[in-house]
Amino acid sequence: MFFISDSPVKTHKFASSITEKFLIENETLIFLINGELGVGKTEFVKGVASKLGFSHADITSPTFVMVNELENNRYKMYHIDLYRVEKKFARSIVYDLLEETQFSLTNKKIVVCIEWANKLLKKREFKLNVGKVVMVDIKVSKNNIRTIKIKF
Ligand SMILES: Nc1ncnc2c1ncn2[C@@H]1O[C@H](COP(=O)(O)OP(=O)(O)OP(=O)(O)O)[C@@H](O)[C@H]1O
Ligand SMILES: [Mg+2]
């Protein structure tokens, strides 16, 4: 499935609608987000966040923080940016976190957004059975036009 977005707002709305579609499934929701520098990965995450009741301002592109954790009454969201993380560490950071969420006693729905997920294994190799995995690939065509491809 793919979507053409011509503005950040359209990207937010698309991300929100995709989130809504998968939220009904009773398991952790994991977005593996890829695309070149500045393509709109974080903008996509803002759309996910707003569907969960967080504000766009809660979503930052931190240079040194790898995992940003947000929580409200119903949801726990992890925003992970692997840009500066070496491949060999990326895997253990993410897998440890996912494993931890599996055993956590929270009754809140967990949503994980991972930018630069190509630092991890490919989806078919994403071995831990920890949730619903949705692949998001964003490409720039020209100016503000982005093609957002979704695989699940
Ligand atoms: N259709 C669009 N969808 C999303 N962002 C867009 C769009 N058109 C223009 N932009 C702009 O592109 C930029 C995307 O920035 P963003 O931080 O989301 O990229 P990123 O992929 O997360 O970058 P990084 O690789 O540094 O993490 C923003 O400045 C946004 O305003
Ligand atoms: Mg980003």
pLDDT value, residue 123: 55
> Which ligand is nearest to the Cα of residue 61, counting in written order?
2
**What's the total number of domains in the chain?**
1
Q: Where are the alpha helices (DSSP H) in the chain?
A: 8-23, 41-51, 87-103
Provide the residue range defining the domain that includes 55. Answer: 2-151
Structure confidence by residue, pLDDT tens digits, 29-86: 999 999 999 999 999 999 999 999 999 999 987 666 789 999 999 999 999 999 988 8
CATH number at residue 116: 3.40.50.300
13 CA distance to ligand 2 middle (Å): 17
Give me the pLDDT at residue 100, please: 87
What pLDDT does 146 receive? 98
This prediction's pTM: 0.95
The closest-lying atom of ligand 1 relative to the alpha carbon of residue 115 is 27
Question: Is there an atom of ligand 1 within 6 Å of 34 CB?
Answer: no
Residues near 100 by beta carbon (within 8 Å), at least 6 away in sequence: none
Q: How far is the CA of 84 from the centre of ligand 1 (A)?
A: 18
Q: What is the pLDDT of residue 124?
A: 54
User: Residue 128: pLDDT above 70?
Assistant: no
